[in-house]
């Protein structure tokens, strides 16, 4: 039996039940299953649990381990930085070398007017920074009434009070009295779910028009910003029609509204470009980054900010009274810098665009799209989803919906593949180092799981 830190796995699972509250979990189910699944080690694209099961990690941890597991150089760089300077803060105009270098590096990748970066520890915190920064900006511009954020239903922007409010997950809002005032949610660009049979371009126009209608309803002079994920990840890998984002950008410009791109999942190569806004061809004023920034090796997030916003803060002479003890943590920033080196050195962005992304798309189209349970199999770069339907050729779901995907997911896990179920879809987001053979394994395992689920769903 595997032993970790002096505890065998059976003991760990007992302790997990007795003391540990895992994130986004049902504690009843945790009890029922005898504790959490304990992952003990990982290499490349494979994770191993305490019972010794190896699984292909079709989720890159939580959409984040872009360079794969087991990168010794990331551990070495963390060790060296810990010995040199394990911590110093960035409060009151102080800094350390790694976050300064990382900010400059990110400015180069973001390009254009996005030349400044604010550091946080998580995607949620980055979006909290967005919340305060945007409202501060408008107050300094003499338009303090511009407080309203427009977001989409089924968006995910994090789990803190502000970021979950920006998000459009009803099941999160019911806990804790969210959304907080000043956040408006409009329809999402979910063609399969909400525009089935409609021409994708007219659907894109309709989804974008919903934003404009809400702006007009709220009063353009009251709207501060629009926030969106280029591709909604946690909401079920919602890939908008190609012109959606350009339409959104035009609407934001028309009314002078700030445009925020939440790149927490899409950034750092996931879509085959450094950032999702580059893939879709729009220019945001603010960018939230996390996850792939350090490939999850250490917690760090970054908020990219346009020159205009920074110059407004500068001109005001006021302090931005916001920041976290670990904003710009030197060890996390040093690891992020080396992670970016790896992504560049191995051309993981280009490889996703030209090689593995198209390979995954072809495998989904050839091997999964024809399956009787599959309504749509879609992907962009190395993120994808398989929609499960009750009747081929429709978007009708099994039962009341949400029933089929967990069954298929469990068959995947039993066959050595970690994927997630989001309502009626199986979603995937593997490490960007995934090989063709591993993509074959991923797709073939989902196919076998669908076959196995078919009888149960009949």
**Binding to ligand PLP in span 115-134, by CB under 6 A:** 122-124, 127
Separation CA 266–CA 237 (nearest Å): 10
Shorter beta-carbon distance to ligand PLP: residue 61 or 241: 61
Separation CA 262–CA 293 (nearest Å): 13
Among 342, 346, 347, 348, which residue's Cα sits nearest to residue 382? 348
Shorter beta-carbon distance to ligand PLP: residue 335 or 450: 335
Q: Which helix (H) or strand (E) holds 96?
A: none
Q: Rg of the chain's alpha carbons, rounded to an integer? A: 22
Phi, psi of 211, rounded to the nearest 5 degrees: -70, -45
* Residue in 110, 290, 383, 417 binding ligand PLP, rule: CB under 6 A: 290
Among 278, 177, 282, 291, which residue's Cα sits nearest to residue 234? 291
Using CB under 6 A, which of the segments 246-254, 262-270, 363-371, 418-426 binds ligand PLP? Answer: 262-270
* Residue in 178, 265, 300, 302 binding ligand PLP, rule: CB under 6 A: 265
Answer yes or no whether residue 264 interacts with ligand PLP by CB under 6 A.
yes
Q: Name the H helices within 199-243.
A: 200-218
Please report how close the Cβ of residue 32 comes to ligand PLP at its closest, in angstroms: 25
**Binding to ligand PLP in span 361-400, by CB under 6 A:** none
Shorter beta-carbon distance to ligand PLP: residue 265 or 439: 265
Answer yes or no whether residue 277 interacts with ligand PLP by CB under 6 A.
no
Please report how close the Cβ of residue 191 comes to ligand PLP at its closest, in angstroms: 19
Helix axis angle for 97-110 and 330-345, nearest 10°, is 40
Helix axis angle for 123-140 and 307-316, nearest 10°, is 60
Answer yes or no whether residue 330 interacts with ligand PLP by CB under 6 A.
no
Shorter beta-carbon distance to ligand PLP: residue 49 or 229: 229
| Residue recorded with tokens 């300077």 | 85
Answer yes or no whether residue 158 interacts with ligand PLP by CB under 6 A.
yes
Answer yes or no whether residue 156 interacts with ligand PLP by CB under 6 A.
yes
Count CB neighbours of 202 within 10 A: 11
Separation CA 296–CA 85 (nearest Å): 21
Answer yes or no whether residue 439 interacts with ligand PLP by CB under 6 A.
no
Please report how close the Cβ of residue 142 comes to ligand PLP at its closest, in angstroms: 31
**Residue in the shown chain whose Cβ atom is closest to ligand PLP:** 123
Please report how close the Cβ of residue 323 comes to ligand PLP at its closest, in angstroms: 17
Shorter beta-carbon distance to ligand PLP: residue 233 or 381: 233
Please report how close the Cβ of residue 155 comes to ligand PLP at its closest, in angstroms: 8
Shorter beta-carbon distance to ligand PLP: residue 186 or 443: 186
Per-residue binding letters, 208-247, with ligand PLP (x by CB under 6 A): ---------------------x---xx-------------
SS3 for 315?
A: helix
Helix axis angle for 244-254 and 200-218, nearest 10°, is 20
Q: Which helix (H) or strand (E) holds 28?
A: helix 27-32
Task: Give bridge partners of residue 232 from the DSSP assignment.
Answer: 238
Count CB neighbours of 124 within 10 A: 24
Please report how close the Cβ of residue 290 comes to ligand PLP at its closest, in angstroms: 5
- CB contact set of 95 (below 8 Å; sequence gap of 6+): 328
Cα distances from 143 to residues 135, 256, 414, in angstroms, run 9, 12, 56
Answer yes or no whether residue 152 interacts with ligand PLP by CB under 6 A.
no
Q: Total binding residues for ligand PLP by CB under 6 A?
A: 15
Answer yes or no whether residue 157 interacts with ligand PLP by CB under 6 A.
yes
Site residues for ligand PLP per CB under 6 A: 122-124, 127, 156-159, 229, 233-234, 262, 264-265, 290
């Amino acid at each position: 039996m595997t032993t970790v830190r002096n505890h065998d796995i059976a003991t760990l699972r007992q302790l997990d039940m007795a003391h540990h509250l895992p994130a986004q979990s049902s504690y009843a189910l945790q009890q029922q299953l005898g504790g959490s699944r304990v992952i003990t080690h990982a290499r490349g694209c494979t994770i191993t649990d305490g019972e010794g099961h190896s699984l292909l990690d079709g989720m890159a941890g939580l959409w984040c381990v872009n360079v794969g597991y087991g990168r010794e150089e990331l551990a070495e760089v963390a060790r060296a930085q810990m010995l040199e300077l394990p911590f110093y803060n960035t409060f009151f105009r102080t800094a350390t070398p790694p976050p300064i270098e990382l900010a400059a590096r990110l400015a180069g990748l973001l390009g254009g007017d996005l030349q400044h970066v604010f550091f946080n520890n998580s995607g949620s915190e980055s979006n909290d920074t967005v919340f305060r920064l945007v409202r501060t900006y408008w107050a300094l511009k003499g338009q303090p009434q511009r407080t309203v954020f427009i977001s989409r239903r089924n968006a995910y922007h994090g789990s803190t009070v502000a970021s979950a409010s920006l998000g459009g997950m009803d099941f999160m809002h019911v806990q804790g009295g969210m959304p907080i005032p000043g956040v408006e949610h409009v329809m999402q660009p979910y063609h399969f779910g909400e525009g089935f049979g409609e021409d994708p371009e007219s659907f894109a126009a309709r989804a974008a028009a919903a934003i404009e209608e809400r702006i007009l309803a709220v009063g353009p002079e009251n709207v501060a910003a629009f926030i969106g994920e280029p591709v909604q990840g946690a909401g079920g890998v919602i890939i908008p029609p190609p012109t959606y984002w350009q339409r959104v950008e035009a609407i934001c410009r028309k009314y002078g509204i700030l445009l925020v791109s939440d790149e927490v999942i899409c950034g750092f190569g996931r879509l085959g470009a450094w950032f999702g806004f580059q893939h879709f061809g729009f220019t945001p004023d603010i960018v939230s980054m996390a996850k792939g920034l350090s490939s999850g090796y250490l917690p760090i997030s970054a908020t990219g900010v346009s020159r205009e916003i920074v110059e407004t803060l500068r001109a005001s002479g006021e302090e931005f009274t916001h920041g976290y003890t670990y904003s710009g943590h030197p060890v996390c920033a040093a690891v992020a810098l080396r992670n970016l080196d790896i992504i560049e050195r191995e051309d993981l962005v280009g490889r996703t665009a030209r090689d593995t992304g198209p390979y995954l798309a072809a495998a989904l189209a050839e091997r999964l799209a024809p399956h009787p349970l599959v309504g749509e199999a879609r992907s962009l770069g190395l993120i994808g989803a398989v929609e499960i339907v009750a009747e081929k050729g429709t978007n009708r779901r099994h039962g009341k919906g949400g029933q089929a995907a967990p069954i298929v997911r469990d068959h995947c896990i039993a066959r050595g593949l970690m994927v997630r179920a989001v309502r009626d879809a199986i979603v995937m987001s593997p490490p960007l180092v995934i090989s063709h053979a591993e993509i074959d394994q991923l797709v073939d395992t989902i196919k076998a799981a669908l076959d196995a689920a078919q009888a149960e769903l009949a």
